[in-house]
Every structure is written in C-alpha cells, then in structure tokens.
Structure 1
Amino acid sequence: MAKAKEVALWCVLVAFCIYTVKTEKRTPSVQVFTRYPVEFGKENILQCYVDGFHPPKISVTLLKNGKKMDCQQSDLSFHSNWAFFQLFHANVTIDEKDEYAFRVEHETFSEPKIFKLEVY
C-alpha cells in the first residue's frame, strides 16, 4: 500500500513539472496592419495579429479615435509549444484624420498596451 502511494505521489509530481514547463508565461507580439494598401476614403480590412502568448486569456479592443469599435476575431489557436495566437479584424474606411489602434490586455503586461495603425 505504501508503495502505491509513493508511485501516485511521483506521478503527481511529474505531471506538475510537465504542466509548469509547458505553461510558462509568454508576452504577446502584436502586429497591426490592413489587408490592402491604405487608400483614404476606401473600405479596407483592419487587422491585429497577436502571437506567441501564454496563458491564453487575452483581451483585444479596437479603438477608433480612442472610442471602442466592434470587431471580429478568429478562433484562439496554438502552436506546438503551447504559445497561442489570434487574429482580430474589422471592415473600416480609413480617413486621414482618424486614428485606429488596438488595446491589448494580457497578464504579462503591467498595464494595457496600445498598438496603432501606422499609415505612411
């Protein structure tokens, strides 16, 4: 009986170690871009690709001139190393006076970070 308890404890310890290694925290990399080259006054698709983060809980908000806008999102997916990725997107008509950005909240950030669309 004591041997079975010892084996069970070792199994729990090994499982915990594997879980800990696979779940190290990773900071997301964020890219903001449009589907097509920007032409002011023409409809485009604004995209935010968030990659390489763990844990999977993340909040991404689209902002137009600092105000929240609706956007779509892909399913949450992961790489073989358990780093997650997700795409957020919205149809927009870009005006040269408007500022588009995505606010990203993740536990690896001390506060939400803003990633702006850079139009050249």
Structure 2
Amino acid sequence: FCYPLTINFVSELYPLEDFIFRSSEPVELRKNEMEMEFYSKGILDIEEVMSTNIILNIPTYPLCKENCKGICPDCGKNLNYEECTCKKEKTIKDERWRALESLKNIFQKK
C-alpha cells in the first residue's frame, strides 16, 4: 500500500575542508558536531541527507489507516480480520533483555 510521508527538516551544511582534522591524535566531537552535514569542494550532494531523513521518518509499523491493527509480525495474519494464534507471551532467549522486559510490562499497565 502507499504510505503518505510528509517530512519537514532543517539541515545546515558545512564545507568539509573546514573540518578535516590535520592531527593524527584522536579528536572528541562535541554534541553539536555529531549531527553536522558536510559538502565538499563546493559540490552539494543532497542524496544522503534526503535518504537519511526519509528513512528516519518512515514509521516502524506503517499502517494503512489510523485504526488499522496491522499484520502479525510472527505469523503474517491480518489482525483486522482474524486473531493470530501466536504465543502471546514471548520467551526471552537472551537474559540481558530481561530488565527491559520488566520495564515494558510497567509501561503497558499505564
């Protein structure tokens, strides 16, 4: 299905030559430098800037309409027409995620 995507973003571009580090020593970037976009030799290639912003604005679970229940990621059934038979409680295979699972349960109750 087609998914309408409206993207508004502002991006400041800087000449790469001004930011090339001439030192072989490691340089620690400040927070504002982490999100900088660059152009080189007077050429502006917006393909990467545009594709990055488009990808970041695509919803993780795109739905065809606001009240759509979506498709089960495990069995692929359309949840608008039938319930899936997937296990409701997923088992955690990697114990490092157990703490996040408990947080998920707290937020689902709210």
Query: Per residue, is there more strand in 1 or in 2?
Result: 1
Q: Identify the structure with bigger relative contact order (alpha carbons < 8 Å, sequence gap 6+).
A: 1
TM-score for both structures, normalised by structure 1: 0.22
Q: Which structure has the larger Rg?
A: 2
